[in-house]
Amino acid sequence: MTDDRRRTTDNSLPCEATLAKQGRQNSQNAVQVYSALRGTTERRSRQEKINMPIKTKSIRRALADLIRRVWEENIRLKASGLVTMTWGNVSGIDRRRGIVVIKPSGMDYAALRPDDMVLTDLEGRRLEPASRLEPARLPSTDLPTHLVLYRAFAEIGGVVHTHSTYATAFAQACRSLPCLGTTHADYCYGAVPVTEVMRPPAIREQYEANTGRMIVRKTRQLRLQPMACPFILVANHGPFAWGATPAAAVENAIVLEAISKMALLTFLLDSPRRSLRRSLGGRRKGISQVLLDKHYLRKHGPSAYYGQAKHNPSK
């Protein structure tokens, strides 16, 4: 068995033009849906403008299930212990409408309510607040990173970013995470990559969007299928994870932290004749291809047999 599952083919990898077109189409969908729900034209009367927040509630009602799920997953992420202070965020996307739901920036999780979730289109244009009486919440500052990932990876429905300790330690060391055992192989078909170190011009301008672009670039360089390696380490920064849903993305973020901790402990326990520096330098190559195939493919793909039912292949 080769690692074709982990790698994309030219046919399955959309080109930049296709992705840009998809992004524009989704944005147009968002604007059309929003405009339809508002029931307004370009030239609205003052009274219509006053009524707009009520219409805005319609779009929140239409997306109520996604909004609640994104809120719940943000709460679950905090409860998982992966988030210190407010260093984490979860988003989800309604692909049909082209609308992204994301945690507001810097809000205390204990005070977070579904109405605080921020709605934008795929270009980051914010939709209206839930109520005219409430101030508009600002989206997470990482929104542009999430948007780049949604535009590039058509199959994902949720994105998570944290600064979880062990995964962030590998990211700060600018080291990829080799597949050292079957826990890792159950979720990721090979090593977890680390991005290139970001150069100053990319940091000064559009930093968050450039973070997303670096993730996409590394994924394409390695010809990875996003769902076969549902997380990445951003050099000097921390991990991003994704999944088919916000819940799956959070699960993957939790898995990444667990396998990062296991990997670091494995390196520490490695042959006492090897220094830690040598171990981390890549002497440990990881599990065999046959063991990687066995564990990954028994949970994913057409021959999967792990778990109780076909409808939830991630379990």
How far apart are the C-alpha atoms of 240 and 231, rounded to whole Å?
6
Which of 3, 115, 186, 293 is the catalytic position?
Answer: 186
Residue 94 falls in the annotated catalytic set: no
CB 209 within 8 A of CB 141: no
CB 23 within 8 A of CB 95: no
* E strands, 23-167, in order: 88-94, 99-102, 118-121, 158-162
Residue 142 falls in the annotated catalytic set: no
Which of 4, 65, 207, 306 is the catalytic position?
Answer: 306
Positive or negative: CA dihedral 91, 74, 248, 69:
negative
3, two tokens: 């690692």
- In single-letter form, the type of residue at position 77 comes to L
Which string of DSSP letters, residue by residue, matches 159-190? EEEE--HHHHHHHHTT--B---SHHHHHH-SS
List, by residue number, the catalytic residues.
186, 306
